[in-house]
């Protein structure tokens, strides 16, 4: 959904450069512990490597699954909002007395989606009250005592319920990022793993460069985990723009009331 936002985000490259420099400093500061300790170090490198792979793999799986769920819920919400718009429009077309109701529904939908022109996806929860106005407008239609197509209205209720459920999922999962304690654990494991590798490498420049590349890759994987776990500013803005423009194309396709009036007059 937002892969391009990672490639174009400056801080991503700043972190990579920082990791590269840190890796070089790390391997040239940590001393070689000697041939006597090398066998023990290499044996523990294997054990720490397995532990590192298990922890990182577990956290990566959680982060990717959460991201995929959010992607699905966001797409589902936007798709069903467009369906709500279409169903409301067709209800009003079948019964002209529902035009004021549809106008109100459309205004509430635009108010909810338009909020994201001013704010990013980070404050998604602010839209709860605005969307509540949308659901209230949908649910009160039978109370207006105006004839309406029941099949279309049931479809509208179904779409509204789906959006409500998707919003609840988004709200609950949006901030379920990896906790500070988990990050502390994986950092300690990564540093220990890096220390074992570096301590077993002879002090020759070529050997140390190889160690630096290995350490760099270990921390680069953590940076990838961070990218999957959190939304950067560009990602947040990109998602917000999808909300803000969700109905724009539909509004362009819909004939204006003036054009419809002329068409009827011509008849």
* pLDDT of 225 over the 80 cut: yes
Q: How do residues 32-90 score in pLDDT, each as one tens digit?
A: 887 777 778 888 888 999 999 999 999 999 999 999 999 999 999 999 999 999 999 99
The predicted structure's pLDDT at residue 143: 84
Greatest mean pLDDT range, 7-11, 156-160, 235-239: 156-160
Q: What is the mean pLDDT of residues 179-208?
A: 92
Nearest to 225 by CA among 53, 4, 59: 59
CB 111 within 8 A of CB 128: no
The tokens for 160 are: 């509204």
C-alpha distances in Å from residue 142, one per residue of 31, 98, 157: 78, 11, 12
Confidence of residue 252 (pLDDT cuts 50, 70, 90): low
The per-residue pLDDT for 259 is 41
| pLDDT recorded at residue 10 | 79
Average pLDDT over residues 215-237: 92
Axis crossing angle, helix 35-94 with helix 180-199, rounded to the nearest 10? 150
* Residue 53: predicted pLDDT: 96
pLDDT of residue 151: 94
Q: What is the pLDDT at residue 2? A: 47
Asked whether the predicted pLDDT for residue 260 surpasses 50, the reply is no
On the question of pLDDT at 102 being above 90, the answer is yes
Domain ranges in the chain are: 37-248
Cα gap 117→140, rounded to integer Å: 28
Distance of CA 107 to the CA centre of its chain: 27
pLDDT the model gives residue 114: 94
pLDDT above 50: residue 134: yes
Asked whether residue 267 carries a pLDDT value surpassing 70, the answer given is no
Q: What is the mean pLDDT of residues 6-23?
A: 83
| pLDDT tens, residue by residue, 65-81 | 999 999 999 999 999 99
pLDDT of residue 239: 94
Tokens linked to 179: 């906790």
Q: Give me the chain's average pLDDT, please.
A: 88
- Scan for tokens 């109905």, then name that residue: 247
């Amino acid at each position: 959904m937002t892969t391009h936002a990672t490639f174009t985000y400056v801080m991503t490259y700043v972190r990579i450069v920082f990791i590269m420099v840190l890796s070089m400093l790390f391997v040239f500061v940590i001393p070689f512990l000697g041939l006597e300790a090398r066998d023990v170090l290499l044996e523990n490198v294997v054990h720490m490597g397995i532990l590192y792979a298990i922890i990182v793999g577990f956290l990566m799986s959680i982060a990717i699954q959460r991201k995929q769920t959010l992607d699905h819920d966001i797409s589902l919400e936007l798709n069903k909002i467009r369906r709500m718009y279409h169903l409301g429009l067709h209800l009003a077309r079948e019964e002209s007395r529902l035009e004021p109701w549809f106008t109100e529904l459309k205004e509430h939908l635009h108010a909810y989606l338009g909020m994201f022109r001013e704010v990013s996806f980070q404050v998604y929860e602010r839209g709860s009250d605005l969307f509540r106005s949308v659901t209230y407008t949908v649910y009160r239609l039978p109370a207006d005592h105006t004839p309406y197509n029941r099949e279309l209205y049931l479809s509208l209720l179904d779409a509204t319920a789906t959006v409500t459920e998707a919003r609840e999922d988004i709200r609950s999962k949006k901030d379920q990022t990896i906790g500070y304690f988990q990050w502390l654990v994986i950092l300690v494991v990564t540093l220990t793993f890096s220390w074992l590798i570096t301590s077993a490498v002879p002090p020759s420049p070529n050997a140390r460069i190889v160690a630096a590349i290995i350490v760099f890759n270990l921390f680069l994987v953590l940076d990838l985990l961070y990218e999957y776990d959190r939304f950067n500013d560009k990602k947040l803005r990109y998602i917000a723009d999808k909300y803000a423009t969700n109905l724009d194309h539909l509004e362009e396709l819909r004939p204006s009331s003036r054009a419809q009036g002329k068409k009827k007059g011509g008849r």
